[in-house]
Amino acid sequence: MTDRNAPKYAIGTNNYELGKELGKALKSQLPNGGNIIIQSGRSDSPNLNLRIMGLRSALSEKEYESPPGKRLKGENGWTESSNPLYNFDSFSTALEDLKNVLYSHKERGINAVVSVAGWAQFSEGYREVVEPYRQEIQNKEIVIIFADTADKQLMYLKDGLAHTNVGQNPFEMGKQAIMTLYKLANKKSVKEIQYIPMTYCNPQNYQTCTKK
């Protein structure tokens, strides 16, 4: 039988802090604020809502009572052009949403797109959709920031098709999981919650940012 009172252990990413790091990355690109679009997967996802709350907290410098926080309406110069665009974990939907934002960003006065996971960049058509806006991206007329740091995403940084990626560190998660099991087997104390440091990638460090 399972002991319901036995301690439970968690090893992974602090989703709220990941969102805050996305916000910090955006502020480094647009220090005077701007009008942004947030991309997310589902409105009922606890993890993704924590990321959105962290992003909003970093930009507004406010603490919210519960995720996903409140839509930005001018705090510290930041506004959200709409509610988050939800793709229901469909890469193609995320890419189509991004395509529409890029096509209309000047008309709508949108300065940045922040995706709290990598959906559109995992779609095979990302390069073709974003390539026509390369110069505008380089000029920071439109800033593109994504969570996740998969190899294909790093190539988009290399080619100037995004500004920043903030990712999880699955290698370190696996390593710490094995070490935790070893400690438990040998009756050593371990933390019940272990947050793993994130990876931070940009066009300058894309070759080394995820190295073990």
Locate 100 and state its tokens.
């529409």
Q: Is the pTM above the cut of 0.85?
A: yes
Cα separation of 174 and 157, whole Å? Answer: 26
Nearest CA to 8 among 184, 186, 187, 188? Answer: 184
Nearest CA to 206 among 138, 159, 172? Answer: 159
pLDDT number for residue 42: 97
pLDDT number for residue 168: 81
197 close to 42: Cβ distance less than 8 angstroms: no
Cα separation of 137 and 144, whole Å? Answer: 7
CATH number of the structural domain 15-168: 3.40.50.2300
Q: pLDDT (tens digit, 0 to 9) for every residue of the chain, 212 residues total? A: 445 555 566 766 889 999 999 999 999 999 999 999 999 999 999 999 999 999 999 999 999 999 999 999 999 999 999 999 999 999 999 999 999 999 999 999 999 999 999 999 999 999 999 999 999 999 999 999 999 999 999 999 999 999 999 998 666 656 666 665 656 677 777 677 677 789 999 999 999 999 86
